[in-house]
Amino acid sequence: MGRAEQIAEVLRMRIMTGQLHPGDPVPSTRAIMRDHNVAMATASRVLSLLQADGLVESKRGRGSVVRPTGGEDPAVLTAAGVVRVAIGIADAESLSALSMRRLAAALEIPTMSVYRYVPSRDELEFAMMDAVMGEIELPVRSGNWRTDLEAAARALRSAMVKHPWLAGALSLTRPALMPNAVPLTESMLESLRIAGLGPVQAFTDYLCLLNLIRGLGLSAEPELADQAATGLTNDEWMDTQIADLRRMAPSADFPNISAIINFGYPYNQDVLFETGLRRFLDGLSADLASTSPN
C-alpha cells in the first residue's frame, strides 16, 4: 500500500466511524502535506482516492467536504435495514456472492458508504446470523422434554431451510456469540436437563443434535448452486451417474449397493431430518430409561 493509500485509509476510517460527519471539511491538500510530510502529488492523490470512493466532494469556497448521503431512503438505510438487504442477497444468491460492492449496488450507494452501517464484512456476516437467529420463534414450553426439544430442533431447521447459507456460516468449534441465539440454546439445554441429564452431558447431547441439524443444512446452499449451474435437480443428476455406479459396484460383489441403485433412492432432506431427529431422540430416550432407577 502506497503512502497516499495509507493516508486515505486513515481519513476513510474517520468518516466511516462518524468522527467526520456529512458536510464536515476534510484536510486540504496543504494540510495533508504538512501533517503527513508528503509531496503535493501524494496529497492530491489522497483526496482523489476519497472522491473515487464517493466519500468526499468539492465545494466552492469550502474545499473538500464529507459527501452527504443524499437520496438514501432513511427507512431502508439503517444498520438493521442494510443487514436485511444483505440477508436477501445471500438467500437468493449465496453468502459467497455477497460482497460490500454487491450490497452497495443493491442499496444504490457508493461501496464505501456501506461501512457507515456495518464496519466490516465479518461484522456484516455476524449481524446477518444474529438477525436470522432472532427470527426463530419458540413455542410455549409444554413441560415434556421431548416435545419441546423437537420443537426447538424444527425451528432451527426451518431457519436453515429459509436461509440456505446459515448452516455454512455457523461454527460449532468457535461459535459467534450471538445474543439472539441464546434463547434457542437455553431452551434446548432446559429440555435435556428436564430429561435428567447433568450439565456436561446435556451440553454434549445439545452439540450432537446441533451437528445433526447443521450437517443437513450444509448441503442446501451447494445443492442450489449446483442446480443453477447444471439445470438438473439432485435426482436428475443421479440418473446421469447410474451407469458409472453400476460399473463401480457390480451386483455380484456389492449386492446391497446394487439393490438401492436398482430400487432408486427418493432423496428428500425433510425425510432425512425427521428420521435423524427421531433416531436421535429414540436413542436418548432408551438410554435414559436404561439408566433410570427402578
Q: Which fold has domain 135-220+270-291?
A: Tetracycline Repressor; domain 2 (1.10.357)
- By CB atoms closer than 10 A (0-12, 13-18, 19+), residue 213 is buried
For residue 246, CA distances in Å to 233, 236, 253 come to: 21, 17, 11
Question: In this predicted structure, which of 46-60, 68-82, 109-123, 186-200 has the lowest mean pLDDT?
Answer: 68-82
> Which of the four pLDDT bands, split at 50, 70 and 90, describes residue 221?
confident
Strands (E), 2-67: 56-59, 63-66
**Which residues fall within 8 angstroms of residue 269, CB to CB, at 6 or more apart?**
216, 219, 220
Same fold, 3-66 and 135-220+270-291: no
Q: How far apart are CA 47 and CA 29, in angstroms?
A: 8
According to CATH, the topology of domain 3-66 is: Arc Repressor Mutant, subunit A (1.10.10)
Per-residue pLDDT, 192:
97
Angle subtended at Cα 180 by Cα 184 and Cα 223, rounded to the nearest 5 degrees: 75
Q: Which amino acid is at 278?
A: R
Q: How many residues does the chain have?
A: 294
- pTM comes to 0.71
Q: Per CATH, is 79-119 categorized as 3.40.50.970? A: no
Q: What is the pLDDT of residues 15-72, one digit of tens each?
A: 777 777 777 888 888 889 888 888 988 989 999 988 887 788 887 667 788 877 654 5
3 state SS of 57: strand
CA dihedral 207, 208, 213, 214 (to 10 degrees): 60
- Nearest-CA neighbor of 146 among 280, 291, 294? 280
pLDDT tens-digit series, residues 132-188: 999 999 989 998 999 999 999 999 999 999 999 999 998 877 878 899 999 999 999
258: cell is 446394487
pLDDT of 75 reads: 45
- Burial class of residue 21 in the structure, from the number of CB atoms within 10 Å of its CB (0-12 exposed, 13-18 middle, 19+ buried): exposed
Write down the domain spans for the chain. 3-66, 79-119, 135-220+270-291
Q: Please say whether the beta carbons of 56 and 26 come within 8 A.
A: yes
Task: Tell me which long-range contacts 60-64 makes (C-beta under 8 A, separation of at least 24).
Answer: 62/25, 63/25, 63/26, 63/28, 64/25, 64/26, 64/28
- DSSP output for 62-97: TEEEEPP-TT--TTT-SHHHHHHHHHHHHHHH-STT
CA Rg value for the chain: 27
The helix (H) or strand (E) run that includes residue 144 is none
- What percent of the chain has a predicted confidence (pLDDT) above 90? 38
Residue 193 in this model has a pLDDT that exceeds 90: yes
